[in-house]
């Protein structure tokens, strides 16, 4: 879906405040409310806006430990990778999973209350998988930026017919 400068502005505003009122959004992007609402709907239907959510303070809700775990699977076989991904997708504690290049195959971000929970619920579940060759964990000591907005650059803007 090609995006024009107004779409980019809408996306920036919605990333900053998903609860923004349409009339306020329309004013900020220089449209009247009805065309602004239509554009947001098109961005949603086109899959550019995938959803809306609240960003919670992890320690405030009892999730004080963030772990980044690099996972290597056995022999790069597709069935091993599929088994790993299926297991990870079923774990609510895993908030992100990326297939990456380099020394490990996957990088996962895990959010749990404490080290004991990480060890008992995540490591034991993952290490039980035959697909897992190695897990290397790094622990976030402090987060300075998490869940940031995407950097929407004018370079990505394409012309769009109304």
The domains located in the chain, with CATH, are: 5-54 (1.10.10.10), 59-139 (3.30.70.920)
In tens, the pLDDT along 101-149 reads: 999 999 999 999 999 999 988 888 888 888 899 999 999 999 998 888 8
In tens, the pLDDT along 40-70 reads: 999 999 999 999 999 999 999 999 999 999 9
In terms of pLDDT, which residue wins out, 80 or 109?
109
Exposure b/e, 95-120, CB count within 10 A at least 16 = b: eebeeeeeebbbbbbbbbbeeeebee
């Amino acid at each position: 879906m090609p995006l024009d400068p107004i779409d980019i502005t809408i996306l920036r505003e919605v990333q900053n405040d998903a609860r923004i009122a349409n009339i306020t959004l329309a004013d900020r992007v220089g449209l009247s409310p009805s065309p602004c609402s239509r554009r947001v709907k098109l961005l949603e239907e086109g899959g550019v806006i995938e959803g809306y959510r609240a960003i919670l303070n992890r320690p405030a809700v009892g999730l004080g430990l963030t772990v980044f775990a690099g996972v290597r699977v056995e022999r790069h076989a597709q069935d091993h990778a599929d088994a790993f991904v299926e297991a990870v997708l079923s774990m609510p504690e895993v908030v992100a999973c990326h297939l990456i290049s380099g020394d490990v195959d996957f990088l996962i971000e895990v959010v749990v209350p404490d080290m004991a929970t990480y060890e008992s619920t995540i490591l034991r579940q993952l290490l039980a998988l035959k697909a897992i060759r190695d897990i290397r964990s790094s622990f976030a000591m402090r987060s300075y930026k998490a869940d940031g907005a995407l950097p929407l650059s004018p370079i990505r803007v394409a012309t769009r017919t109304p």
